[in-house]
Amino acid sequence: MTRMGYEYTSVGGNDGMSARARAPERPGSLPAEWQNVFTVEVVLYLIIGLAALLVRLWRLDAWPLSPAEALPAWRAWQIAHGQAPALVLYSPLLMTANIVCFALFRASDAAARLWPALFGTGLALLPVLLRRQMGRAAALIASFLLALSPSLIAASRMLDGRTAALFAGLLLFTVLVRLMDGGGRRELGWGAAALALGLLSAPMFYSVLLLLISGTALLWGLRRPLGMEEFWASAGRRWAELRGQRGWWREAGRFFLGLFLVLGTGFLLNFDGLGTAAELLPTWVHSFAWDSQSYGPLVVLWSLPLYETAGLLFGIAGLVMGVRRREALSLLAGWWLVGGWLLSLISGGWRPADLALLAVPAALLAGKALGALADWTAREALKEGDWLILLVGAVLAVFGYLGFVHYARTGQLLSLLLAVAACPLILLVVTAVVLIWGERWRALRGLALLAAGASILLLVHHAWVSSLLADGSRHDLLTAARADAGVRDMVELAQRYGSQVRGDPYSAPILLVGDEVEWLKWALRDFRRVEFVRRFGSAGDYPIVITPGSIQPPLGESFVGQDMAVYSDWRPAGMEGWTLARWLVSRVPPASPHKETIIFWAQR
């Protein structure tokens, strides 16, 4: 029976004297068990994951594959189609992933870059495994920063093993922290997977491995000065317990070996992958050698605060908090950041994409600091002092940004002075007024919230202009080396020639001449006959010959040539004052970068 909106169910017999009341479910509401799953926190992680995936997949094929990307993609395509593969240096993990991808789906530039984008998305969500150790708010913010990191987005949008290496490295970091905090069998399995993925990913994994091993040893050696004897005693007891679980170790070892062999050999289709995996360590060692192509330590110094402003600013605050609180997670992440920065400074083979190595620990530390700021704001509502600094600071930030943009467009020095001198001075005066009111902590929190908002906006700006804004006139440090639109113009011209002369766009035989153009085999993969030679002998029966721009083969008057720019490599040199401001705002450099050209020769 029902009464007053409740349903009564008889449970004691036929007399109906015993009954229980049950509130009816509202129409359209989720069942109770689903309400426990879809919490606000879970929904926020889903939003962050979708955002991370979107910015990594958005116009993923805006630029053709560069030479460093095209040769590994070409090898994977050959294996997927049962051909004898070319000998190139590659990531065995991504090679296996692309073999599967190309065998199941149509090969394309976007498909070749798909797996780095997926690893980058997974990397952004890994802090969810550290919710207990970091705190819920801190882990959520760290995930947000990883999702929108400009250096991680750029690395995720190129066919390179860096994001896979960092995914494995952060998973290994997570395993280490959780084992110190009482982890067990599950963490050993995760560690085996992380080690297998990392050893097959990229040379960068050895940097992470070195930093984690040396950081753990350093924390143990400094346990007394840091006052962490009790922590390490507890970790030692846990380690002794784990050593006794031999079955767990055997299980993790078998899992590692099986995963390493399967992924390293491309499901037994590419046994050369094991040899290439062994070459990753020597390649990492050789990356510390300096040559004429090295960027130099100065670029490393200014690129981190430029692209990872939020991570660096609040990462330093998070490290200070970790030192004061003796938190193993923050101290280990801090060593990853500091040690990785030192490795970058001494590495002659450092490339802008290697900035991602520092973005990961910076995001974890910044998450700790911003999580503490969020908890403080949740406990104590904003007062007059906070709001005054926030409102005045927001107005000054907008005014200063507009002034800086005006200077970048016109070169007027007055606009620059207003942006970089007058606005900070006014904010300093307002902060002093709040301090005079006696609200010292209010002023500090207001400035911290203002800095957080401004640095996150800078994060979004740099992510947009560095990776998502595909414009041939713009050149960014993170995407400095790229293939140009001339690659696709070359393919289109070859298709047009085949259609006009032979009636089939992919039927015209093509001869590639010179090591500089070997990577173009990927772009020409759909043509039925493409031959590569290192030195030109004769055109033979090839109606299309493609050579580097520096080579003029003796083809006679029966061939006509067309120059095409296919690759550019921009270096941040010659920028100061107005030209530097212009580049910071619009990414338009003062001079065009060096471009490599080809000559497309076609028979008349």
Structure tokens at 183: 């982890």
Q: Are strands 530-533 and 481-483 parallel, antiparallel or unpaired?
A: unpaired
Looking at residue 258, what is its pLDDT?
Answer: 96
Whether the model clears a pTM of 0.85, i.e. scores above it, the answer is: yes
For residues 177 and 127, is the Cβ–Cβ distance under 8 A?
no
For residues 277 and 200, is the Cβ–Cβ distance under 8 A?
yes
CA neighbor of 395 nearest in space, from 426, 420, 363, 438: 426
List, as one string, the DSSP characters of 444-481.
Answer: HHHHHHHHHHHHHHHHHHHHIIIII---TT---STT-E
Distance CA 52, CA 33 (A): 28
What residues are paired with 594 via a beta bridge?
569
Looking at residue 35, what is its pLDDT?
Answer: 53
Looking at residue 308, what is its pLDDT?
Answer: 93
Residue positions counted in the chain:
604
CA neighbor of 139 nearest in space, from 363, 450, 389, 468: 363
Looking at residue 539, what is its pLDDT?
Answer: 85
Alpha helices in 87-226 (DSSP H): 92-104, 109-112, 114-125, 131-134, 136-148, 150-156, 162-180, 185-199, 204-221
Alpha helices in 266-327 (DSSP H): 272-286, 297-307, 309-325
Distance CA 553, CA 568 (A): 24
| Average pLDDT for runs of 10 along the chain of length 604 | 38 40 48 62 94 94 93 91 76 93 91 96 96 93 96 94 96 94 87 96 96 94 88 86 88 95 91 91 93 86 92 95 92 96 93 94 96 91 86 92 90 87 90 80 87 92 84 84 92 94 91 92 94 89 92 88 92 83 88 89 91
Looking at residue 30, what is its pLDDT?
Answer: 52
Tens digit of pLDDT for each residue in 131-150?
Answer: 999 999 999 999 999 999 99
Question: In this structure, is the dihedral angle defined by the CA atoms of residues 30, 31, 35 and 37, taken in order, positive or negative?
Answer: negative
Distance CA 329, CA 181 (A): 10
Looking at residue 17, what is its pLDDT?
Answer: 37
CA neighbor of 315 nearest in space, from 307, 583, 238, 242: 307
